[in-house]
Amino acid sequence: MAYIVDMRSDTVTKPTKAMKQAMVNSALGDDVYHEDPTVNALENKIATLLGKQAALFVPSGTMSNLIAIMVHCNKRGSEVIAGELSHIFRYEVGGAAHLAGVMLSNLPNEPDGTFDLKALERRFRGSDIHEPVTSLVAIENTHNVCGGKVLPLKWVDSLSELCQKHNIPIHMDGARLFNACEYLKESPARLVRDCASVSVCLSKGLAAPVGSALVGSYHFIEQARRVRKMLGGGMRQAGVLAAAAVVALDEVVPRLALDHKRAQVLAKVIEGLFLPSFKVDPASQHTNLVLVRIPGESSLTADRVVERLAQVSLSETQGDCKTPNDEGVILKVIQFDAKTIRFTLHVDITDEDLWLAIMKVTYVFKEMDAAAKSK
């Protein structure tokens, strides 16, 4: 059997031993009655951590963002403005339109995950009878499609000022908020200071098995609790899941720096191969995601590279790319677009896994670059 290194996403992380222990020993109750002590503890812990009044444990990040949109935009036909590369716009199945009756308007994202604030201000509307009412601005931190970029704090502060002036709340999709905190060496409370609501994934890099937390004021969370029930997200003895998330906050958050370091190592190795077909930019890589881009002029496509990394060739097992058991390495990564591949570092990738991934990438990238050249 080939050795598998799974760098597709930080969602593939499995709960640690301590998490499983906590799950077995968790005190439970019916969370819809607000009687699950472990869920209550998690909600209090994360609200405090983010400097907000209250939190709600929800089944997924997608539901968390949708609930936020439904609470902030409780009039049908109102508008959310988000970046065109945001998860909310791209990867949440149009739930805002389908389920909330809310329209998503988008602004072009800059490569750093921000958008132009002057352009944003021109887009605010609602004073004219013909217009939908802009009711929310959504930002993403870290920004996934932009390669795990951390939004500059100064930009977030300027955005807040602008939104306050127009009385429009900000929702932060902070699926990887703790990665952003690690990079900036700032507290989560500081990063979300001016956001009316924040969604944080517990099951990505934090390695809890299931769930996200939605955080905001008492009043906001009270309404969010009703919406969660409506969407079918009222879970009963959810403490069995929350228990793992409590451990994740204590145990896994402090080690995120290691994922960032390893992502840098991987990017620098790829950069050091100097292959025309594969470009990385370690200097602008902030966190645990590594984007590899294939230049437009190359005949290679991301899907072929992803496929090749997941295969073991005969020559690899015959000593060209030695692995511990001589059966080769399968490296799982994902295609981001036709010319972009994403590698994700996470808690289940050890130093040995990283080393094996580096050997595999080096072998395959050289092979594919040479083949692309000879065409």
Ligand X SMILES: *Cc1c(COP(=O)(O)O)cnc(C)c1O
Binding stretches for ligand X (CB under 6 A): 60-62, 87, 140, 144, 173, 175, 201, 212
- Among residues 26 and 179, whose Cβ is nearest to ligand X? 179
Between 46 and 300, CB nearer to ligand X: 46
- Write down the least CB distance from residue 12 to ligand X, Å: 12
Cα(150)–Cα(191) distance, rounded to whole angstroms? 10
Task: Give the residue ranges of DSSP H helices in 252-350.
Answer: 256-272, 302-309, 314-315
User: Of 59 and 239, which has the nearer Cβ to ligand X?
Assistant: 59
To the nearest whole angstrom, how small is the minimum distance from the Cβ of residue 162 to ligand X?
22
Kindly give, in sequence order, each residue whose CB lies less than 8 Å from that of residue 272, ignoring residues fewer than 6 positions away.
none
**Least CB distance to ligand X at residue 334 (A):** 12
Which CB sits closer to ligand X, 205 or 328? Answer: 205
Spatial separation of the C-alpha atoms in residues 63 and 60, rounded to whole Å: 5
If the CB atoms of residues 61 and 328 are measured against ligand X, the closer one turns out to be 61
| Min dist. Cβ of residue 194 to ligand X (A) | 19
Contacts of 30-37 with CB under 8 Å at 24 or more apart are 30/236, 30/237, 31/57, 31/234, 31/235, 31/236, 31/237, 31/238, 31/239, 32/229, 32/234, 32/235, 32/236, 36/236, 36/237, 36/238, 36/239, 36/242, 37/239
Which is closer to ligand X, CB of 200 or CB of 267? 200
Residue, CB closest to ligand X? 61
213 versus 312: smaller Cβ distance to ligand X? 213
Long-range CB pairs of 369-373 (<8 Å, 24+ gap) are: 369/275, 369/276, 369/277, 369/278, 372/277, 372/298, 372/299, 372/300, 373/276, 373/277
Nearest distance in Å: CB 161, ligand X = 24
Is the N-terminal amide bond of 142 cis, ω within 30° of 0? Answer: yes
Question: In angstroms, rounded to a whole number, what is the distance separating the alpha carbons of residues 60 and 361?
Answer: 32
* Smallest gap from residue 94 Cβ to ligand X (A): 14
Two tokens, residue 258: 């290691």
Nearest distance in Å: CB 326, ligand X = 36
